[in-house]
Amino acid sequence: MTPRTIVVVDTMGGLGDLVLSLPVLEGLARSHPAARLTVVTTAPWHELLLRDPRIAEVVPVPGKDEATIVGVATGVLERIRPDLAITTNRQFGLPVLLQRTARRAVTDLWRRPPADELVDLRYLRLLVADGVVAARFADLPPRLVLGPDELDEAAELLGRLAAGPPVLLFPDSGMPVKRWPVPSWRALVGELRRRGATPVVVAEDAALRDVLVEAGAVPSPSLPLRALAALCAAAAPRHGAAVGGDTGPVRVATAAGLPAVGLYGATLALRYGLREGLGTNVQGWAACPERRPTAITEQACWWTGTCPFTRDGTPRCMAEIRPEQVLAALRP
Ligand code: SF4
């Protein structure tokens, strides 16, 4: 059966989670160009999809709690009664909801995950195996659609911020185990300056931003999400790059076309890293015995933010990533 209506429920909650779903959305849209594609996803990240002509409707979910997610998803699925429904989230009874309301439902994109297959590729390949995405789209990269007006505005802003090739630095992370130590960031800023690049720090944490500015980085103004994506896109043709941990903004950068160096500690780059060709992954302390590639939430450090292998609890894996490794991973 060729679906005429498709609903994707992507409510894992993180910005990075939405970027991981972009290849799925594109794979579905290209496999079924006549179908009407609706995406239910977490606000405010849904804004990334708003100008994508492949998506007929984007429905924001204004919360991450069960009642909000199930309430919004139920409303959409009961209104559309789609031919095909897919969820990346298996919580809150969503699989049963999809099975009840759609003619066909794909509800487990987390089945038997191999430790060495990237999450977004896994999604796509399972959908190919299930026959809902064409095999020729099994390797699609994440890709954002930005408007020419957004790109022009970003190029103008970047022209004011950066004289040399811009290197966008994303030092923030909501999770302590994903943070690279501040002295490492400072050393990277200094070396980028010496090489004639312009390090541009993009951080919500004002104290962190100020430390890197003191070291020689240029502060980016606080930007709405789409403007940030456009800034990344504008940096690409200027021989730019991005650097940051396993976080949403770094994924956004690669989806906007900016090559990135991803710093991976508690998460295994083979599973959560950036796609080959879009970025370079640097893994800290690859031999950590506590790391669980297919069950990261069970790691001792994940929710506590405390590493059992250092005296002060800061992540040993992140501390072992040296600025020289990052510089080597950046393109000349
Ligand atoms: S236990 Fe420590 S070194 Fe190992 S992954 Fe967690 S933070 Fe990194």
**For the chain, domain boundaries:** 5-137, 148-329
Q: What confidence score (pLDDT) does residue 11 get?
A: 96
* Confidence (pLDDT) at 1: 72
**What is the spatial distance between Cα 322 and Cα 194, in angstroms, rounded to a whole number?**
17
Contact 264, 246 (CB under 8 A): yes
Give the CA angle between residues 224, 255, 176 to the nearest 5°: 70
Dihedral pair phi/psi, residue 105, rounded to 5°: -130, 135
> What is the reported pTM?
0.95
Residue 111 carries which DSSP code?
A: S
Write the pLDDT tens digit of every residue in 209-222. Answer: 999 999 999 999 99
| Average pLDDT score over residue span 32-42 | 97
pLDDT at 297 over 90: no
Q: How far is the CA of 183 from the centre of ligand 1 (A)?
A: 19
Overall average pLDDT of the 149-155 stretch: 98
Ligand 1 and 307: CB distance under 6 A: yes
With a 6 Å cutoff on the Cβ, whether 266 touches ligand 1 is: yes
Cα distances (Å, whole numbers) of residue 206 to 219, 314, 326 = 10, 21, 24
pLDDT in tens, 193-251: 999 999 999 999 999 999 999 999 999 999 999 999 999 999 999 999 999 999 999 99
CA of 318 to the centre of ligand 1 (A): 8
Instruction: Please say whether the beta carbons of 5 and 35 come within 8 A.
Output: yes
Give the per-residue pLDDT at 293. 81
For ligand 1, whether the C-beta of 7 sits within 6 Å is no
C-beta of 269 in contact with ligand 1 (< 6 A): no
Q: Does domain 5-137 have CATH number 3.30.300.30?
A: no
Q: What is the mean pLDDT of residues 1-24?
A: 95
Find the mean pLDDT for residues 289-308: 89
Q: Is 70 exceeded by the pLDDT of residue 332?
A: no
Whether residue 331 is predicted with pLDDT greater than 90 in this model: the reply is: no
Band of pLDDT at residue 296, cut at 50, 70 and 90:
confident
CB 132 within 8 A of CB 86: yes
Q: How far is the CA of 291 from the centre of ligand 1 (A)?
A: 6
**Same fold: 5-137 with 148-329:** yes
CA of 267 from ligand 1 middle (Å) equals: 9
**Per-residue pLDDT tens for 101-141?**
999 999 999 988 888 899 999 999 999 999 999 999 999 99
Strands (E), 171-252: 198-201, 218-219, 241-245
CA-based torsion, 115, 120, 123, 129: positive or negative: negative
For residue 321, give the nearest of 309, 331, 313, 329 by alpha carbon: 329
Confidence grade of residue 305 (pLDDT, cut at 50, 70, 90): confident
What per-residue confidence (pLDDT) applies to 27? 97
| Nearest residue to 258 via CA among 135, 185, 162 | 162
Q: CA torsion sign, 71 to 73 to 76 to 78? A: negative
Question: Right CATH number for 148-329 from 3.40.50.2000, 1.10.760.10, 3.40.47.10, 3.30.830.10?
Answer: 3.40.50.2000
Q: Tokens for 174?
A: 């909501």
Confidence at residue 138, expressed as pLDDT on a 0 to 100 scale: 95
Sign of CA dihedral 204, 208, 214, 215: negative
Q: What is the pLDDT of residues 52-82, one digit of tens each?
A: 999 999 999 999 999 999 999 999 999 999 9
In the prediction, which pLDDT does 295 show? Answer: 85
Instruction: Give ∠ CA 286-290-291 in degrees, rounded to 5.
Output: 55
Q: Are 77 and 103 in contact (CB under 8 A)?
A: no
> How far away, in angstroms, is 116 Cα from ligand 1 center?
18
What separation in Å is there between the alpha carbon of 181 and the centre of ligand 1? 14
pLDDT tens-digit series, residues 235-294:
999 999 999 999 999 999 999 999 999 999 999 999 999 999 999 999 999 999 999 888
Q: Which of 316, 318, 320 has most ligand 1 atoms within 8 Å of CB, for mutation?
A: 316
* Beta carbon of 237 within 6 Å of any ligand 1 atom: no
| Interval between CA 299 and ligand 1 midpoint (Å) | 8
- With a 6 Å cutoff on the Cβ, whether 45 touches ligand 1 is no
